[in-house]
A and B are shown apart, each in its own frame.
Chain A
Amino acid sequence: MLNRIFAIAKKELKQLSRDTRMLFIIFFFPVVLLIIFGYAINFDVKHIKIAVYDQDKSDYTREYVNGLISSEYFDLVTYVQDESEIKRLLDEKIVQAVVVFPNDLSRKLLSKQEVKVQYLIDGVDGTTASAIQNYVNAATYSYSIKLTKEYLAVTGKNLYVPIDLQPRFWFNPELQSTKFLIPGLMGMILIVTAVISISLSIVREKERGTIEQINVSPLSSFEFILGKTIPYIFISLINATIVLVAGYILFGIVIQGSLLLLLFGTLMFLFAALGLGIFISTVADSQQVAFQAANVTSLLPSFILSGFIFPIKTMPIAIQVLTNVTPAKFYVVILRAILLRGAGISAFWDQLIYLGIFGTIFITLAIIVDKRSKGKN
């Protein structure tokens, strides 16, 4: 039995070594995805372009603006000279926000009255707009405190601020979105290559008629599938290694947890992903159909529903239930725990069980469909 499985695995590798298209999908695709997602998709809002309409032109306004642009969050693009220009700057997306200081700002400050500073923020991209709002709030708040302190110092008093907030971000102290994205990306790359490669390799035998010769031979379906799967497990592990090494070199991601647990978690994930691929191969009759089905069932859900980019907890309940269609969801939890937090198995043992259930369901379905089709053609 081992000999027969080995014969299939060896044959599969030989065929793969001559299939440049498939090799391209398996090894080049992950690198491209990694670079695109690692560099191009960046959710960190920095270097916001602002313009200033300063009608007061006082020390106060200069100091305020300096406070803004001394951080890396804001870049001062220009000073606006009259009101009509504001509309043009925002319309043509030259700036993302405009600060408007009223002409009575310094007068009011000196007479201890409240001052209103207006911010005009481009609200088209809601995420960026609310990030801008948070930054200007913080900047304005600290400048206000500074002014209060100065005022009180003149009268000989100290400002008493009862609570001083000291936030510290664990596991990803600089809140880099790449750190958050890489584990999800790894899940997505592995599921896409695993599902596509295994389903295409089985369907190709159907399409070319070679499956007929296999069916007549003493090979059992189990030996056939196992022989086919083994090479792709190794290839997926190589892929995972490529992503991890690239993640370290390009984005400085260091594996915090145990490599052995990572390997085990990855194998469980591959069991689920290959189960899905094997199921697709029993339903699809041509490589085209299999490729489409593999794409639709692996790429899209792992992108949208895995929690890779969009947090699952904020989704409506119905969608949250739907997220279970992709094993990437469970794997992303495992990866984040191991890669970023260095957590032990207690943090994700339940996810391993879900992966096991997922794989078992699809392999069982594949067996049922396969048995049914035996009596037919």
Chain B
Amino acid sequence: MNAIEVNNLTKKFGAFTAVDNVNFTVKQGEIFGFLGANGAGKSTTIRMLIGVLEPTSGDALVGGHSIMKDPEMVKRNIGYMSQKFSLYNDLTVAENIRFYAGVYGLDGKKYEERKKWVLKVANLENMENTLTSSLPGGIKQRLALGTAVIHEPKIVFLDEPTSGVDPISRRNFWDLINDLSAGGTTVLVTTHYLDEAEFCNDIILINAGKIVAQGNSKELKTNYIKNPILEIETDRTVDSLEILEKEKWVGETSVFGNYIHIILNDDTITEKNIIQLLQEQNGINVKRVERIVPTLEDVFIHLIEKDNK
């Protein structure tokens, strides 16, 4: 059974189409990555799926309930956490938990049990009476997720939950997401960190309101870029890039630190041709040329540039 089914979902703000006829399905218990640049339509889509923004047309079933006909039932059955971590900074940890438990109607034994769980996942077991404003970002983020799922929803929406958090906290946070998923919870997460996308079972990439790619990370890497990719390291990165871009057989280029990635238009070109061009004709010392499997970053840059043309 699918946890989420999205059918022809569209949202227009005046003349601007933020989400354009989007279709996808999310299977129960999976971690579903929703990728795209800022302003691509990720948040708008999520806000429709959680029942706070009315679609212009189309519909979606979330946990079996229509977001058009029954947004209230949708709200009862989901958890949601946004990049803003909607905790009350002027309440203590325990007061925040108490409040959200109250909102979802938890009391008695169930409340005590869930409160314990939230404190455990947030690593706040002896800090119940700390004011939330004084917590570090990573801890706040875990507390926010804990309170967002205090009512044990089957489906959780996370809207850029890791933006502005340090790498170690991000990694810990993903462990928590994996735990939720292992427990049978469906997680739909938006991000623009591509390393995080690798943790997702399924990914869609959205650009200008439209889905441009869909699949798991392996499928994305093999299905969307057919041409070979070379990674080149030289001691003059910028000059090398200028020279390479003039060649007809070079498709797209991108720079990753000291490395240059190029997508070839011509299968007959090999490592030797590159060394010849850079080192022998232009006197640039080439340290390394290697044919690589594309990263998700290569795929997304390729797809978005293609889409924007």
Q: Give A contacts to B, CB under 8 Å.
A: 3-4, 6-8, 10-11, 14-15, 18-19, 208-210, 212-219, 374-377
Identity of the chain A residue whose Cβ is nearest the Cβ of B51 in the assembled complex:
A216
Q: Which of B21-29, B96-104, B193-201, B285-293 contacts A (4 or more CB under 8 A)?
A: B96-104
Is the pair A212, B52 in contact by a Cβ cutoff of 8 Å? yes
Is the pair A212, B54 in contact by a Cβ cutoff of 8 Å? no
- Please indicate the chain B residues that have their CB under 8 angstroms from the CB of A8 in the complex: 99, 102-103
Q: A3-B102, A374-B52 are in contact. List 14 more A-B contacts (CB 8 A).
A: A3-B105, A10-B98, A11-B95, A11-B98, A19-B90, A209-B86, A210-B86, A213-B80, A213-B86, A216-B51, A218-B76, A218-B103, A218-B104, A377-B53
Identity of the chain B residue whose Cβ is nearest the Cβ of A7 in the assembled complex:
B102
Alpha-carbon distance A217/B147, docked complex (angstroms): 12
- Please indicate the chain B residues that have their CB under 8 angstroms from the CB of A375 in the complex: 53-54
Is the pair A4, B90 in contact by a Cβ cutoff of 8 Å? no
Name A's interface SS.
helix
Q: How far is the CB of B55 from chain A (nearest CB, A)?
A: 10
- Please indicate the chain B residues that have their CB under 8 angstroms from the CB of A215 in the complex: 52
Within 65-91 of B, Cβ neighbours of A (below 8 Å) are at 72, 75-76, 78, 80, 82, 84, 86-91
Alpha-carbon distance A374/B53, docked complex (angstroms): 6
Known: A212-B86, A217-B75, A374-B54. A4 touches B91 (CB 8 A): no
- Please indicate the chain B residues that have their CB under 8 angstroms from the CB of A15 in the complex: 88, 90-91
Alpha-carbon distance A210/B132, docked complex (angstroms): 14
Q: How far is the CB of A287 from chain B (nearest CB, A)?
A: 14
- Please indicate the chain A residues that have their CB under 8 angstroms from the CB of B54 in the complex: 374-375
Is the pair B52, A217 in contact by a Cβ cutoff of 8 Å? no
Alpha-carbon distance A175/B86, docked complex (angstroms): 57
Is the pair B104, A11 in contact by a Cβ cutoff of 8 Å? no
Q: How far is the CB of B270 from chain A (nearest CB, A)?
A: 53
Is the pair A10, B13 in contact by a Cβ cutoff of 8 Å? no
Is the pair A7, B86 in contact by a Cβ cutoff of 8 Å? no
| A-B pairs with beta carbons under 8 Å apart, 18 shown | A4-B103, A6-B102, A7-B101, A7-B103, A10-B98, A11-B98, A209-B84, A212-B80, A213-B82, A213-B86, A216-B52, A217-B75, A217-B100, A217-B104, A218-B103, A218-B104, A374-B53, A374-B54
Known: A4-B105, A7-B103, A11-B99. A216 touches B50 (CB 8 A): yes
A-B pairs, 3 with minimum CB distance: A7-B102, A213-B86, A209-B84
- Please indicate the chain A residues that have their CB under 8 angstroms from the CB of B50 in the complex: 216
- Please indicate the chain B residues that have their CB under 8 angstroms from the CB of A374 in the complex: 52-54
Is the pair A14, B75 in contact by a Cβ cutoff of 8 Å? no
Alpha-carbon distance A212/B85, docked complex (angstroms): 10
Alpha-carbon distance A14/B99, docked complex (angstroms): 11
